[in-house]
Amino acid sequence: MSIPAIGAIAPVTPVLSTTATNPASGANFANVLANGLDKLQQVQTNADNLAVQAAAGTLSDPAQYMVASTEASLATELTVAIRNKAVDAFNEIMRMQA
């Protein structure tokens, strides 16, 4: 009995890009952070637009709204988790003795 090959899976586009060439450079980190927040805003705006279309009855496929809503929710949760870790790290550094 042969098992058929698994078809290709579409790649998932990350919310944050890891294209910083020099990790020691603050400008690249700032760009990555700004791009990530811009992408989060785009994802949330898309979900909001689809919610309005769903409420108005003009959305042809309600699954589009559910996918966009879930994506926006997960992206927001990830952003909040990263922010919380950054605040924890900052507080830990501030507690260190010189």
CA 27 to chain centre: 20
- Statement: the pTM of the whole predicted model exceeds 0.85: no
Could you read off the pLDDT of 13-52 as tens digits, one per residue?
A: 555 555 545 555 566 878 888 899 999 999 999 999 999 9
Average confidence score pLDDT of the chain: 83
| Mean pLDDT for the stretch of residues 60-85 | 94
Q: Which residue has the tokens 């919310």?
A: 15
The better pLDDT of the pair 62, 23 is held by 62
- Cα–Cα distance for residue pair 53/41, rounded to 1 Å: 18
- Cα–Cα distance for residue pair 36/65, rounded to 1 Å: 22
